[in-house]
Amino acid sequence: MNIALISSWHVHTKKFMEKIINKGVRCLYVWDFDATLGQAAAKEYQAIFEPDYRAILADEQVDAVIIEAPTTMHKELIILAARAKKHIFSDKALALTTEDCLEIEAAVRENDVKFMLSLESFAVNSYEYAFKKVNDGSLGQITSAYFRRSHGAVIRQDLPDYWFDKAQSGGGATLDLGCHGFALLPLICGQPKAVTCLMNEQFGSGVDEYSTTLLSFENGAIGTATTSFVGPTLDNYLEIIGTQGSLQIVGNEHEEQTIFLQSNLEEGYHKKTIVSDADIRKYNPFPIELFVELVEASTEKEIPRYGIEAAKRLTRIIECAYESAETGKTVAY
């Protein structure tokens, strides 16, 4: 499989490229709107820096593009790639508006290319365990879920300055870290119905630095997604409450996580108990690794959890959150 890296703007790029190269994928080209970044990435991945994006797309050797460009550039880059019959992996979020997502979807469908959106939280084995407990009924009917994702990028100043440029990123903590909760909660609670969001900027970064978003779901469940660029450390917390039990997951994917389960329906867990590591799958592939398998071996066009519908849902929730924060009103999904 031969790929072209379309910008090294995103902070996840190096991690994703390491994983894809370890699977035997060759990077033929790097394109970047910033020639200095692009040339450095091309040298690192032993690829050709090509400033003409269309020239890359015209090369029949290129099987797929890895879109790690600014979110505000996704629509144009992805549609051109689809029309060139290149398979597409895109970092999150797919686009800034539902309308843009629909145009991307049309190009992907019409040109019969494979597509995947990177939603890394789905690769966290403890969350996979949580989905299992929700789906097998161990917690009963889900009534509420809470997810927090935070780090201290604004305080530590350890992300590139451009990360806080809305002209490139499209938004702040709610769009960036918020993607994790906005993607996870519908898999736990169901179809979104309405969105209410409060967000704030306190330290002069130029973007929303922290927010809490309340989602109501068609089945009556309530979800909360809290996110922050001004936390003391990288922090994740997931809590799911149902009519027959509850589950809490403490810790992020880079450290040992602790899972607490209480279930009226499971022997040995009638009281809140720490779940043994033996009950948790040790490794889930990252989306970028699944993308290689999708392109090289699968007859499917997408993996639903990472597909166009999931991408559209995520963008719509983000869109609603920003509209709600701006207007002070609850926004229908």
Note the pLDDT tens digit of each residue in 156-213.
988 999 999 999 999 999 999 999 999 999 999 999 999 999 999 999 999 999 999 9
Q: Which tens digits make up the pLDDT trace of 28-76?
A: 999 999 999 999 999 999 999 999 999 999 999 999 999 999 999 999 9
Q: What share of the chain is helix, strand, coil (3-state, %, to 5)?
A: 40, 25, 40
Q: What is the CATH number of domain 121-282+315-332?
A: 3.30.360.10
Average pLDDT over every residue of 18-36: 96
d(CA 210, CA 153): 11
CATH topology for 2-113 is Rossmann fold (3.40.50)
Query: Is the pTM higher than 0.85?
Result: yes
- Cβ contacts of residue 238 below 8 Å, gap of 6+? 126, 127, 130, 145, 146, 147, 148, 184, 247, 248, 249
Average pLDDT over every residue of 216-229: 98
Please check the confidence at residue 283 and state whether its pLDDT lies above 70.
no
d(CA 68, CA 23): 19
Please check the confidence at residue 112 and state whether its pLDDT lies above 70.
yes
Domain assignments of the chain as residue spans, ordered by start: 2-113, 121-282+315-332
